[in-house]
Structure 1
Amino acid sequence: MALTPNTNEAFLREVDDEVRRDQLLSFWERYGRWLIGAIVLALALFGGVLYWQHRRSMAAGVEGEKLQTAFDSLAADQPAKAGPALSELAGSSHDGYRALAKFTQGDILLQKNDLKSAAAKFAEVANDNGVAQPFRDLALVRQTSAEFDTLKPQVVIERLRPLAVAGNPWFGSAGEMVAIAYINSGRRDLAATLFSQIAKGQDVPESLRQRAVQMASVLGNDASAAADTANVRVVKPATVKEAQAK
């Protein structure tokens, strides 16, 4: 007896459903335990990440309190009391606290006139790939300032020239040291040009712009216009050495 079209379609659907059930059962029997294991592992990893983030957040809070305590000790003129906390934070896994601690250690050493040790601390920050680039650049400027008198002029120039450009956050400080290194290496024309650029820098501290205007004038560049723009009072020294002393 021939099946009607409706009966034929119903039969085919039943066969198709049965095949799918068999396939699903076969898949579950073969991979079910692995699938459950993968889900459990994923949940465990997710929970581990949440726990790690929580612990890291808690640790950051504790380190923030330690840093504040160290700063309070320094404000009270008790650097020795701040020392242990700063030493601990200098080894922190948190980049910001690590950098701040080392910067502070370097500043304390500068106050003791231990330029070599201070430069070494700033160098650690400058070479720390985990720290944001602007702070690494600042550390390089501080390092170079601490050891400036012991460096050959060309070393200063090559080290700081990438920072001695208008628009860089540390243009003024880096540019001034590069310009002085140009003078010490006999390239007064380059020094005069760089001092003039610093004098025009609106983001450069006023005291630094004033020195730049004076140095540019001594070296033969009329920086009066730059001084007017920057509202800097110009007092022209007689010699380069006198200007540097200011």
Structure 2
Amino acid sequence: MSQDNIFREVDEELRSDRMRALWRRFAPFVIGGAIAIVALVAINEGWAWYSNSQSAKASDEYYAALNAADAGDLAGAQAQLDTLANGSGGYAVLAGFRRAALLAEQGDSAGAVAEYDALANAQSNPRLRELALVLAANILVDTGTLADVETRIASVASDDSPLRRVARERLGLAQYKAGDFAAAQASFEAVLNDPLTQTPTRNRMAYYLGQLLSDGVTTAPTDAEVAADAIDAAVQGEAAPAAE
């Protein structure tokens, strides 16, 4: 055997020994990392399966509650909604809103308002919070005071809120009911002058202003003319119905 071959074999043996030494040193970490990756994938898949199954179960329970309510089984629907609302996830929020609506349908206005208030206080999503406040204020227009309505939706009626138009309408109705006609007129005009207001809502605002005109409490001639046109259209069956 030549001297070069001997040196080559020795070098290969040394390399092999170094690789074995490195493997013995780092093998536990490599194997542990592989096991950790497999475990994380398994946990993720397991959690996804569990979440989907829980969501499907909540969906079935929610629609079962709706069907029970439609069938007239209000007590059964309320019990199912109570169970869902005490859980977590999106269906718990939906159940809370439906539970409040069911209380309102049963004539329990105070209970419905309390439920909406609880939903508003529990929501991290600002839009869901505003929706709960508007729905509570909608009930309080008939059953509460102007202060009750203002407490809930004064901030929702701001220019940066997507629900500002419906909030201003409810606020205007509460102001009209309380006899604050100037404030009611301002609220209705704010909705009427909003460029994003849809035609049916515009017609409704004009009808409200027409009511103020007929009461003799309107102060803006331009708005009075708009309201008068709305009344004429209403007589011909073209405008929205009067305020609730």
Q: TM-score, normalised by structure 1?
A: 0.71
- Equivalent of 1:41 in 32, 36, 44: 36
Which residue of structure 1 aligns with residue 78 of structure 2? 83
Q: Which digits, 9 at most, give the CA deviation of each residue in 1:128-181, with x for residues without a partner?
A: 335x4333211111123334554563x643542332246744223310233356
Structure 1 Cα separation of the partners of residues 88 and 144 of structure 2: 33
Q: Which digits, 9 at most, give the CA deviation of each residue in 1:55-104, with x for residues without a partner?
A: 21122112212211211122222212212221111123222x11211111
**Residue type of the alignment partner of 1:214:** G
CA-CA distance at 1:205 after TM superposition: 4.8
Q: Which runs of 5+ in 2 are unaligned?
A: 236-241
Q: 1:183 to 1:231 in 2, by over 3 A?
A: closer
Superposition pairs for residues 75-154 of structure 1, below 5 Å? Answer: 75-95=70-90, 97-129=91-123, 132-147=125-140, 149-150=143-144, 153=147
CA-CA distance at 1:17 after TM superposition: 11
Q: 1:167 to 1:40 in 2, by over 3 A?
A: same
- Equivalent of 1:60 in 35, 55, 72: 55
Structure 2 Cα separation of the partners of residues 92 and 211 of structure 1: 44
- Equivalent of 2:191 in 194, 198, 206: 198
Which residue of structure 1 aligns with residue 163 of structure 2? 170
Which residue of structure 2 aligns with residue 219 of structure 1? 218
Q: TM-score, normalised by structure 2?
A: 0.71
Q: 1:162 to 1:26 in 2, by over 3 A?
A: farther
Structure 2 Cα separation of the partners of residues 94 and 184 of structure 1: 39
Q: Secondary structure at the match of 2:122?
A: coil
Identity of aligned residues (%): 21
Q: 1:94 to 1:27 in 2, by over 3 A?
A: same
Q: 1:114 to 1:204 in 2, by over 3 A?
A: farther
Q: 1:216 to 1:234 in 2, by over 3 A?
A: farther
Structure 2 Cα separation of the partners of residues 165 and 230 of structure 1: 26
Count residues in correspondence. Answer: 224
Which residue of structure 1 aligns with residue 150 of structure 2? 157
